[in-house]
Structure formats: structure tokens, C-alpha cells
Structure 1
Amino acid sequence: MSSIFKWEAKPFFDMVTRRQTLQAISTTALPALAGCTTDILDSGKSQTRYTLNIEPIEVSPVEHALFDPDDDALFGNPAQTALAAILPDGRHTTYGYEPLPDDAYVEYEGSYYQTTNLVTGRKQMERTLIRAEPLPDKADVPNDAILVDELNRPAARVVKILHSNAVTGGEGNSAELLREDAYVLRRPVERESRLATGELDGRIVTMTDGGNWAYRLHVTHKRITETAHTTLAIEVANSHSQFRDVVFGSRIDVELTPENLSADVRNLLEDAVRRETYEETVPLPETFEALLTALGLKAVDTAVTGKLLWYDGELYRCALYVNDSS
């Protein structure tokens, strides 16, 4: 658009009359301005953008597939306790929660197992329930209110879950963790926390050091019916090579080799691997569409994450996001 203002005025007036000049300007500038106007209008339209992320995973597929609980007291310790009980052929039952992820792969003395969780009944038992009553405004926050981050992790996590449920009106993901707006203390470290002792009953906890999002905690004890979850381990392989086949059959979403791809698709994939993030807007180039098809992502409407790609002897995690942007 700016090119129409760059012509030299003096030579032009030496060659033509003023009327001719105006005619020339009108016939030359209007189409250019029309094009600029179209560009400006088009620039305000939303475009559908495809963002492809390909992140390298610096371990082998077998290492990546194996579940190895950490030393975290809240989740790691129950998982370690369960594994010690079920490997190689035992059973472990918990009430109201599953200590291990379903279908996790674990190794024991050279053999490989997959965990599974089964519901094996129900049981009446006494539990501690925690509720959070929102305070109407900061004026009601006393000086001895506790900042949530001053609590240890098990107690702070419970308060944050209750806060999330309150601000979403019970429509958020945290609602799945609650029983009628109350959090039930089930895991061992939760049942030993300050919440379980009743020390925090009636105390006020704030989500920020400025006193915003304040709640009065209520601790009650009640007999409730808990679901029994029994965890088992099923042997799936008795050697590393056999387990590698299990992993590729169950966890690797796409296997590609350079020879599988046309030269232009191969070059685009390797460029995306180098960048780790690659973007295109609609209409998509044919080569990019072909790459999405090869990756099994062509039918994605909004987003998909966590897809595992094995390409040319390396493991990658893929994600595709489809967004409208102006």
C-alpha cells in the first residue's frame, strides 16, 4: 500500500499537465488503495491456525513406558506399598482411592507386569470430611488467618481443591474429588495431617497473603460407604525384548521411517522436529496435510496431546492444536 506514495513529484510534473497528473494519480492509486483496503479487512478476519509440537523424549520406549513411583508421601508412598504387596502375584486393597494407575507397566526381577484395579466390594468405615465455607469479604478475615501455602502439601492440596470447587460452582474437575462438597481424607498421609487431627477445625485459611478468597474450615467425622479397590499385577513379558514388543504394540501411536515418506513430507517432518513447534494456517499446504495424515492427526478438530511417535530410531511426543486467530 505504501508504494503509491513513493513516486518522484518533480519529473512527473515536467512531463504532464496538472489535469493529467490528477488523472494518473486517480487511475493508479485507486486500485492500489482498493488492494490495501482488502488487505486491511482481510487481516481482521480470523484464521484457523494449526500448531504442531514435536518434543523429543530422551529415554527409550521401554524406559518411558515403565512406571516408577517417586518418594512423594501423598502419592508415591501408597504406590510403593501397593507394588510391594502385589509383585509378583499378590493383592492389595484400598478403600475410596486407587494407589496405582490402571494399566501401568512395572518390572520385577526381569519380568514385566501390568497393574489393574478392580472393584471388589464396599465397606462402611469412619472417615474425616473437610468442608470450606467461603467468607463474604476481606473484612471478616482475622489476623490469625492461615495462608494456604503455609500448610504442608496434603492439607494445602485439600484446601485448594475445595477452593477450586467453590469458584467454579461445582462445575470444575475438582468436583469429581469431592463427596457432597466435602473432601474425604483417605490416603495415609492425609489421615495424619493437621486436618485429620481437628487442629484446623473452625480456622480461616486464605488463598493469598492479601486475604483474598478466605474460607472457614469445618472438620467432621462420619461413617460412610467406601468402595473397595483391589490392585493386581498381570505378567505381560518375561524378557526385555518381549516387553519392547508389548510397548510398541500398546503405547507407540505412530511408527515412521524416512523411507515411508515422500521427500517433501520427510523434509517437513525433520524441519518440525528441529523446530519442535511448526505452524500453518488454512488453507493448509498439501505437504503439511500429508504429514498430519502420516502422524494420524488429520482428523483432529481442536486439540490432541501426548501422542507418541517413533521415527528413525528416536522417540517423540506429539501434540496438535487447532485455533482460530485474527
Structure 2
Amino acid sequence: MSDLTPSRRRVLAGGLAATIGAVSGCLDESVTGGPDDDERDRVLRLLLSDVGETLRENGVDDPDEQDPIWDETAFEAVRAGEPYTTQYRTPFFSTDEDPRHAVHEGTYYRLGSVVIDEAETTRPVVRLFGVEADDTGDTDSVDAETLPAGDQRAVEIAHFAARARGNTGGIPMDLVERGGYVYRDEGAIEASALLADDGPARVAYADTTYRVAIDRERFYEPVYRATGEVVAESPEQMETVLRALKVGPRVSKEELSADAREILEDARYGGYEEPHPYSDAYAEVLRALNERPFIDGNILKDAPSRRSGSELVRYGDRYYDYGLVFQPADGDE
């Protein structure tokens, strides 16, 4: 490639998934200048991750082939036109932004839910608290690994909340609730040793002994009705639906220059990067990906505000997830 010097073209190995996941917010606060400032010390890295030849393979659930993570009874009710409700959790873990699809006997469905009611209920909440060195109470504790599976999960999540108290590290908010763990599975509640009247007062986990506190608190939870709509009657039609939902740029190899195709090949196998101003071939690739903010305007301020790679790209006869991220230059290679 005649327009790319060794100092401007580097193929990177590893870190594909992590870097794609870190596209948003990748610039530090010191990078605020235009094309004549700090970006001369930074490179724009492109990575492609192969998704496959079809979107149906990962985009459609087939309960006949494998057990889905969602409620199969809800799917049966949807197909039969019968009402089916769940409380707190949606029946298909599907959202309008990320819909779930399933197939049954050659018919493809878009699965979802609507809120139809609210339920007031009482749930056990387990919280853990560190034991002080001068605590003279009952020192016997139970090893978390000896507890039933539901209790082990409760201890692990409540441990995250206990560890975060007074620290700045944060907690996994998608798991911790009300400063601990909320039991919602009836089977786990019935099998629980922690929730029993004679349950342990202390539990040992991660080389730490905790005091166990259990409260039964009031919750107001949404009631969902499962929904399903036929969207396709053939694999080809379903592929078209998924392509319309998930795919943005469509890039033809024949329409690209040889240098641009080489860049995309490098991006598929480890990554490709360049500093600004970009070579003609890299600019061609960015335009093909509809990522013009990385070329025009204030390169560092405008472009990173976009959710780069939020859509899949079709390149040739395959689909790819992709990420674009600014990062410090490592020096000439």
C-alpha cells in the first residue's frame, strides 16, 4: 500500500472484544483540541468481529434445538392466543430496543410483553455486615459453599454490597438491590437455609466473616402479559427482518480500492490503526462505514460522541460487529 508508511500503519493483536466494548467514553478529559492539537499523538483504531454468514443463527431462538433462557410456557401461550402473565421479570427478556425472536414449525415470531398490572408483595432481603474485631457475640459461622445454591448466590451478591460500603469502587447495580439480595424464586426460598428460623447468624465468604441480616420488605412489582407476533414464514424472510433491524452499512468489496480492502482485512485479524490526517484508503473505509464524523469537523470532539459500531456491517457475504476507538499512539513501528 503505497500511501501508508510503517509509522502510520500498525496491525494489533488481541483485545478485540474488550476494545469494541470500550468505544464509548474512550477519551480522557485532556483531549479537547481540534485536528491541530492532541490528536496528532493519537490513533484511530478499527476492529471487525465476524458475526457469521446469517443473522438467524444467533438472532433466533429455536426451543426444539436447545432450551431457551426465557419462559417456554409463555411461548406456547402466545402461539395458542392465550393470556400468560409474569411478575417482576418479563417473560422473554425482550425489549423494544433489543427484541427477541423465536421459531416454531417454520413460523417466526417477535416476542415481547406489555405491563398490565402492579402487584404488591413481600420479599426476603438478605444483607451482610462485617464483623468487628471486638465483637464478642456468637463466633460460629457457616461456610457459604455449604449452603444451597440459591443461598450461595444470595451471599455472593450481598457480599458485593457489603464490600462497597464506605468504598468508592462501586457495586454491580444490575445484581445488588436495596443493599443486598432479594429472594424472588419460590424454589430458592423453600430450599433456603439462610431464611430458615434457625438459619446461621454468620456466614464466611471470600475470606471474610459476615453477620447475616434478614428483613422481609414490601415491593411493588409490574405484571407483564406475554406478547408475540408473526413476522416471517420463511428463513429468507426472517433474515431480511433481522438485517433491517441490526445492519447499517453494506460494503461491497468490488466498490472499494485494493488498499481499502487490505485495511478491512487487517481490521478482521487483530485491528488496524492510523493517526489523523488519515490516508486516502482509511478515509475511504470510514466513509463506507458511514463514519464521516471521524473525517470531517472536530475529529476528537464530534466523532467519539457517536455510538460507533452500534450497528452491524455487511461486508461481502458476511456480517461483522465493529468498533472505532481513539487511543494513544505507541510510537513508530
Scaled by the length of structure 1, the TM-score of the pair is 0.69
Pick the structure with more helix per residue.
1
What is the aligned counterpart of 1:146 among 140, 143, 146?
Answer: 143
For the residue of structure 1 that corresponds to 2:173, the secondary structure is helix
For the residue of structure 1 that corresponds to 2:158, the secondary structure is helix
- Tell me which amino acid in the other structure corresponds to 2:183: L
Q: Equivalent residue for 1:247?
A: 242
Contact 1:175 1:181 (C-alpha < 8 Å) held by counterparts: no
Deviations 1:231-280 (A, max 9, x none): 2111111222221110111122322111232332222112322x142233
Contact 1:93 1:231 (C-alpha < 8 Å) held by counterparts: yes
CA distance, structure 1, for counterparts of residue 189 and residue 40 of structure 2 = 52
Residues 294 and 138 from structure 1, CA distance in 2 versus in 1: closer, same or farther, beyond 3 angstroms? farther
Q: Equivalent residue for 1:163?
A: 159
What is the aligned counterpart of 1:123 among 106, 111, 119?
Answer: 119
Structure with greater contact order relative to length (CA < 8 Å, sep ≥ 6): 2
- Tell me which amino acid in the other structure corresponds to 2:88: G
What is the aligned counterpart of 2:220 among 222, 225, 235?
Answer: 225
CA distance, structure 2, for counterparts of residue 243 and residue 116 of structure 1 = 17
Residues 323 and 173 from structure 1, CA distance in 2 versus in 1: closer, same or farther, beyond 3 angstroms? farther
Q: Equivalent residue for 1:310?
A: 314
Q: Equivalent residue for 2:24?
A: none
Matched, 1:278 2:275: no
Residues 282 and 106 from structure 1, CA distance in 2 versus in 1: closer, same or farther, beyond 3 angstroms? same
Q: Equivalent residue for 2:304?
A: 301
Residues 126 and 177 from structure 1, CA distance in 2 versus in 1: closer, same or farther, beyond 3 angstroms? same
CA distance, structure 2, for counterparts of residue 51 and residue 110 of structure 1 = 42
What is the aligned counterpart of 2:84 among 78, 82, 92?
Answer: 92
- Tell me which amino acid in the other structure corresponds to 1:161: I
Contact 2:141 2:201 (C-alpha < 8 Å) held by counterparts: no
Q: Equivalent residue for 2:300?
A: none
RMSD, matched Cα: 3.5
Residue 313 of structure 1 and its aligned partner are, at CA, apart by 0.8
CA distance, structure 2, for counterparts of residue 280 and residue 137 of structure 1 = 56
Q: Equivalent residue for 1:35?
A: none
Contact 2:249 2:289 (C-alpha < 8 Å) held by counterparts: yes
Residue 105 of structure 1 and its aligned partner are, at CA, apart by 0.8
- Tell me which amino acid in the other structure corresponds to 1:243: M
- Tell me which amino acid in the other structure corresponds to 1:204: V
* 1:8-157 paired onto structure 2 within 5 Å: 47-58=41-52, 60-67=54-61, 71=67, 76=69, 78-102=70-94, 103-136=99-132, 144-147=141-144, 154-157=150-153
Residues 265 and 59 from structure 1, CA distance in 2 versus in 1: closer, same or farther, beyond 3 angstroms? closer
Residue 106 of structure 1 and its aligned partner are, at CA, apart by 0.7
Residue 68 of structure 1 and its aligned partner are, at CA, apart by 5.2
Contact 2:142 2:200 (C-alpha < 8 Å) held by counterparts: no
Identity %: 22
Structure 2 residues not aligned, in runs of 5+: 1-38, 294-302
